[in-house]
Amino acid sequence: MSELTRPFITREHRIEWGQCDPAGIVFAPRYMDMFAESSILLFEAAGLPKKRDMLREMGVAGFPLVDLSARFLKPSSYGDVVTIEADAPQFGTSSFTIAHRIRLGDALCVEGSEKRVWTVHEDGRLKAAPVPEDVRARFANH
């Protein structure tokens, strides 16, 4: 992941008390929640339906997480307003990887990535399926 990568989406988020440990700094797993929400918002920003509608309208069962990495560079604390960035997905056949960054002002606090798999229901089970071409096309020029 490059510092020079232009994000596909950028959003502001105020750090909430419930996201913090007793010292008032963000408990590391809460950053993963922020990444996950940005992944959902990324698809919406590309013009796809909200996730609950996507599941119903597109026949997708979801996109479960299969790999996760993060580097924690600077803490953020209760009340801080951070900027959360997510890059366009890098697609495999049925998987995609999204790079995320969380900044406080100009300082990079956390950088990480999620690898997820496009899944469908088949014979009562979840099964990996190719990411549809129309979904890929929404990110092709970014």
Active site residues per annotation: 21
Q: How far apart are CA 64 and CA 10, in angstroms?
A: 22
Closest CA to 140 of 111, 78, 131, 79: 131
